Homo-oligomer: A and B are copies of this chain.
Amino acid sequence: MAPVGRPRSDASHAAILKATYELLQEEGLARLTLDKVASRAGASRSTLYRWWPSRGAIAMEATLDTINREMSLEPKSDNALAEYRRLLKSVARAMRGSTGAIMAGILAECQRDPETLRLFKENLVAPRRAEVIPLLERGIKDGSIRPDVKPHTILDMTFGAIYHQLLLHVPTEDAWMDGVIDILVHGIAGKPAA
């Protein structure tokens, strides 16, 4: 079952992702062209087309590691609300840098390419939600979150608020995020919120 023929070049693969990420930081997804990526990576456009179906797919793969790392959540407490607070502030902070601009670019690309939207949901939205939903469900079980709110709706509102700032090019500052968290926590708390 050994694959036959010349194997895929890891060097080229890595160089392409690196070049893509650099260009995304410098000019954003809107101004990214496969030509620029190829020439900076020392690759050829043929190679890009061989492995990725679209510009969005390359940008996604080049950014996924960074985004997933910056948005990671390591639960430290059993208190669902407190933990959720922590997650949101961490996300807001991550979105303040160039990562936020890249995210906005990806969201825009999703509107012109259904495949990119699919990849986005699959590789970014879904895993992130899968990570947080159990936390919220735990909160519902222990009574710290009202039982009649749907975890997914909470997340729609959370990421919605953040996307809103990203798309309108308003920085997600700490004070603003505090206000959002405040409303959310009051809105979902099962008992008089702390």
Give the contact-size bracket for chain A. Answer: 35 or more
B179 x A183 contact (CB < 8 A): no
A138 within 8 A of B: no
Question: A143 to nearest B CB, angstroms?
Answer: 15
Interface of chain A, helix or strand or loop or mixed?
helix
Complex CA–CA separation, A44 to B111 (angstroms):
28
**For the complex, is A64 an interface residue (Cβ under 8 Å from B)?**
no
| A185 CB contacts on chain B under 8 angstroms | 187
What is the interface of chain A, defined by CB distance below 8 A to chain B?
A: 28-31, 104-105, 107-112, 117, 121, 125, 146, 148-150, 153-154, 156-157, 159-165, 167-169, 176, 179-180, 182-188
29 contacts between A and B (CB under 8 A): A29-B111, A30-B112, A31-B112, A105-B111, A107-B167, A108-B109, A108-B111, A108-B112, A110-B168, A111-B167, A117-B168, A121-B168, A149-B179, A149-B182, A153-B179, A153-B180, A156-B164, A156-B165, A156-B180, A157-B164, A157-B180, A157-B183, A160-B161, A160-B164, A163-B163, A163-B167, A164-B164, A183-B187, A186-B188
